[in-house]
Amino acid sequence: LFDMSSAGILGRIKSGVLKEARISGTRYVMMASILEVIEEEDREIKTVKTYLEQQARKGVSSVEYAPVMELLGLTTKLSAHRNKIGRILGKVSRHSYEEGKGMLSVIVHVKGTGLPSMNGFFGLVEALEEDWEDHYATQEDFIEAETKRVLAAHRK
């Protein structure tokens, strides 16, 4: 459900994000806490998606990670926060792609590069557009075309 290891789940239990019940020595995660986590993630996805859609409507083609992360109280300094924003941006892009509006996270760039996180973003590209390399000479060409597609879709 959370796409994480049992160690990750235990970490969430220890931090109080997930609540557990122990019955005869077996640990069970409480459904209410699972639903709270899902609802919170849905709110975070909506917050980021709304912000990026607003930027795209304005014609902004490059937003750095820091201001996007700050919307959720996250920092670029913590690995767990960077992983979390990566998951959220992946879900935002999947939603916008399914709506026919391109991969919205293409406009979120690593500071000073003018490019999205190549590993994270192109992992998503590979999942959604397996044959992208047949149509574009370089990753940068794909990013340029996808940015144009996203901006055009959101200006309508």
pLDDT 10s digits, 128-156: 988 999 999 999 999 999 999 999 999 86
Question: Radius of gyration (Cα) for the chain, nearest Å?
Answer: 18
Residue 4 has pLDDT above 80, yes or no: no
User: CA 37 to CA 99: how far, in whole Å?
Assistant: 25
Residue 8 has pLDDT above 90, yes or no: no
Report pTM.
0.85
Residue 89 has pLDDT above 80, yes or no: yes
Q: What is the mean pLDDT of the chain?
A: 92
Highest mean pLDDT among 2-6, 16-20, 147-151: 147-151
**The pLDDT of residue 17:** 87
User: Could you tell me the CA-to-CA distances from 101 to 19, 21, 44, 69, 86 in Å, in that order?
Assistant: 38, 43, 20, 22, 19
**The pLDDT of residue 150:** 97
